[in-house]
């Protein structure tokens, strides 16, 4: 996995794990890869993955069955959505607003482009929003 300098590696790994859960690759109450296995795949120190697992346990996205391994929580997907939404609102949205201001882009311009994006990418019959 390629890491960027904009975010801590353990948070980037957390995003990866969350994505796997949301995509259904690691379903609720199913075992996820071990710390060592994930560290090997990600080519990082196992301590970094352990920090990721601790973080995701605090967010109640995964849980540990002592001696067996880590598992995706039953309510992992809504918790992931809530976590990502809050992170977006707290970190990315202020930067987005700053860019709008600096480039003199109006909210109306953004709204028009957003509506165009939705109509091009998501059919009107689709009831589920993308995650």
Residue-wise pLDDT tens for the chain (131 aa)?
Answer: 889 888 999 999 999 999 999 999 999 999 999 999 999 999 999 999 999 999 999 999 999 999 999 999 999 999 999 999 999 999 899 999 999 999 999 999 999 999 999 999 885 545 455 54
Residue 34 lies in a domain: yes
Residue 130 lies in a domain: no
* CB distance 73 to 79 below 8 Å: yes
Range of the domain at 57: 9-76
pTM of the model: 0.76
Same domain, 108 and 92: yes
> Within 13 Å of residue 7, how many CA atoms lie on the same side as its CB?
13
Residue with tokens 């992931």: 80
Same domain, 16 and 71: yes
Task: Residue 24: give its domain's CATH number.
Answer: 1.10.10.10
Tokens of 123: 């059919």
Same domain, 55 and 85: no
Same domain, 48 and 95: no
Q: How many domains does the chain have?
A: 2
CA angle 89, 93, 98 (to 5 degrees): 150
Residue 23 CA to residue 42 CA, distance in Å, equals: 19
Tokens of 69: 């391994």
Same domain, 30 and 84: no
* CB distance 77 to 21 below 8 Å: yes
Specify the 3-state DSSP secondary structure of 43: coil
Same domain, 94 and 67: no
Residue 128 lies in a domain: no
């Amino acid at each position: 996995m390629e890491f960027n300098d904009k975010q801590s590696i353990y948070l980037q790994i957390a995003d990866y794990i969350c994505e796997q859960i949301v995509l259904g690759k690691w379903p609720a109450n199913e075992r996820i890869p071990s710390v060592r296995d994930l560290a090997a795949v990600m080519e990082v120190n196992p301590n970094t993955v352990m920090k990721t697992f601790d973080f995701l346990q605090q967010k109640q996205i995964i849980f540990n069955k002592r001696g067996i391994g880590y598992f995706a929580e039953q309510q992992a997907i809504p918790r992931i959505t809530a976590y990502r939404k809050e992170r977006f609102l707290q970190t990315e949205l202020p930067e987005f607003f700053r860019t709008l201001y600096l480039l003199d882009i109006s909210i109306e311009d953004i709204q028009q482009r957003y509506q165009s994006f939705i109509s091009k990418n998501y059919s009107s019959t689709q009831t589920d929003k993308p995650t």
